[in-house]
Amino acid sequence: WAVFAPYVAAINRLKAERSAVILAHNYMTPEIYHGIADVVGDSLQLAIEATRVEADVIVQCGVHFMAETSKILNPAKTVLIPDPEAGCSLAESITPEGIAEMRARFPGAPVVSYVNTTAEVKAASDICCTSSNAAHIVAAQEADTVIMTPDKYLAQNVAKQVPGKRIVWWDGACIVHERFTAQDLRDFRSWNPETRIIAHPECPPEVVAEADFSGSTSGIIDYVERERPAKAMLVTECSMAANISDALPEIDFVGPCNMCPYMKKITLEKVLWSLHTMQGAVEVDPEIATKARVAVQRMIDLSR
């Protein structure tokens, strides 16, 4: 922590000078999560918090689609992303043309797009979802067939939870979660039978089937805080366990995790630089933003 302290102090000073708040995703490193964040959460929580920000500036410690979502929901604010290269394999996997292709293949089916998409894709969708509300959003659609984009694994996991719907999906995947295999989890359980295994729903369905619980990043945190298992394996990004392990010393966080190379582009140095220079403001074309806001707001309204 000694090495981080000067950055943390400088960032917290600049936050006050610039009237800025830092919204940080659960995958941020501990020095960001504990040192400078004003709000931490999963994608849905951060989107809802963005609507409530009264400060002039939002610094989004997360990936680009999260900063765009904040800008869409609170357009009067300056939204800074400390590294514009902080992308997402899911957001990169689909374009508005892909949405049009799915609509042509399944006429009349509503398009439910994961928030891990660009503003243009959100604008072309009927409603958004996150990992914490996907099953609820899909179940709320009147149509029997629902298009889910772009995460095929989230769609397949939701299909199990909402058997009354025919769900069709785009062929996207998260490069972090697709790397876990069911065999990894079975092996791990055979060596450590008392371990509680908790998987994010971006994992393939056969991986989720091996887990004791599946939920959004905040759902995973809530679960371990509530259940307090002696040993827990978080089948997700590595910073999750790093961020909560100090507050839960009785839990032994075990097993492999995977690093998100995009989330890890956000560092204290880059946060300091963006607040110092005010560079890296996210802009969304107003017409696209208006359409995208409808899709995101429908999701928020249905999640209340």
Binding residues for iminosuccinate: 25, 43, 114-116, 131, 200-202, 217
- On the 0-12 / 13-18 / 19+ scale of CB atoms within 10 A, 265 is middle
- Residue 131's binding partner, choosing from ligand 13P, ligand SF4, none, with beta-carbon cut-off 5 to 8 A by kind? ligand 13P
- Residue 216's binding partner, choosing from ligand 13P, ligand SF4, none, with beta-carbon cut-off 5 to 8 A by kind? ligand 13P
Applying CB under 6 A, among 20, 35, 36, 42 the residue interacting with ligand 13P is: 42
Stretch that binds ligand SF4, among 13-21, 239-247, 258-266, 274-282 (CB under 6 A): 258-266
- Residue 29's binding partner, choosing from ligand SF4, ligand 13P, none, with beta-carbon cut-off 5 to 8 A by kind? none
- Residues in the interface with ligand 13P (CB under 6 A) total 10
Q: Site residues for ligand SF4, window 86-105 (CB under 6 A)?
A: 88-90
Query: Which residue's CB is nearer to ligand SF4, number 167 or number 176?
Result: 176
The site map against ligand SF4 for 178-207 (x = CB under 6 A) is ------------------------x-----
Query: Which residues are CB-neighbours of 160 under 8 A, at least 6 positions away?
Result: 205
In angstroms, give the least distance from the CB of 19 to ligand 13P: 26
- Residue 217's binding partner, choosing from ligand SF4, ligand 13P, none, with beta-carbon cut-off 5 to 8 A by kind? ligand 13P
> Which residue numbers belong to the known binding site?
25, 43, 88, 114-116, 131, 174, 200-202, 217, 260
- Count the Cβ atoms, other than its own, within 10 Å of residue 138: 22
Q: What is the DSSP string of the chain?
A: -TTTHHHHHHHHHHHHHHTEEEEEETTS-HHHHHHT-SEEE-HHHHHHHHHH--SSEEEEES-HHHHHHHHHHSTTSEEE-S-TT---HHHHT--HHHHHHHHHHSTT--EEEESSS-HHHHHTSSEEE-TTTHHHHHHT-SSSEEEEESBHHHHHHHHHH-TTSEEEE-SB--TTTTT--HHHHHHHHHH-TT-EEEE-TTS-HHHHHHSSEE--HHHHHHHHHHH--SEEEEESBTHHHHHHTTT-TTSEE-S--B--TTGGG--HHHHHHHHHH---B----HHHHHHHHHHHHHHHHHH-
- Residue 70's binding partner, choosing from ligand SF4, ligand 13P, none, with beta-carbon cut-off 5 to 8 A by kind? none
- Measured between its terminal Cα atoms, the distance across the chain in Å is 38
Interatomic CA distance for residues 188 and 220, integer angstroms: 19
The site map against ligand 13P for 108-147 (x = CB under 6 A) is --------x-------------xx----------------
The site map against ligand SF4 for 138-167 (x = CB under 6 A) is ------------------------------
Applying CB under 6 A, among 26, 113, 116, 218 the residue interacting with ligand SF4 is: 116
> Which residues bind to ligand 13P, rule: CB under 6 A?
26, 42-43, 116, 130-131, 174, 202, 216-217
> Which residues bind to ligand SF4, rule: CB under 6 A?
63, 88-90, 116, 174-176, 202, 237, 260, 262-263
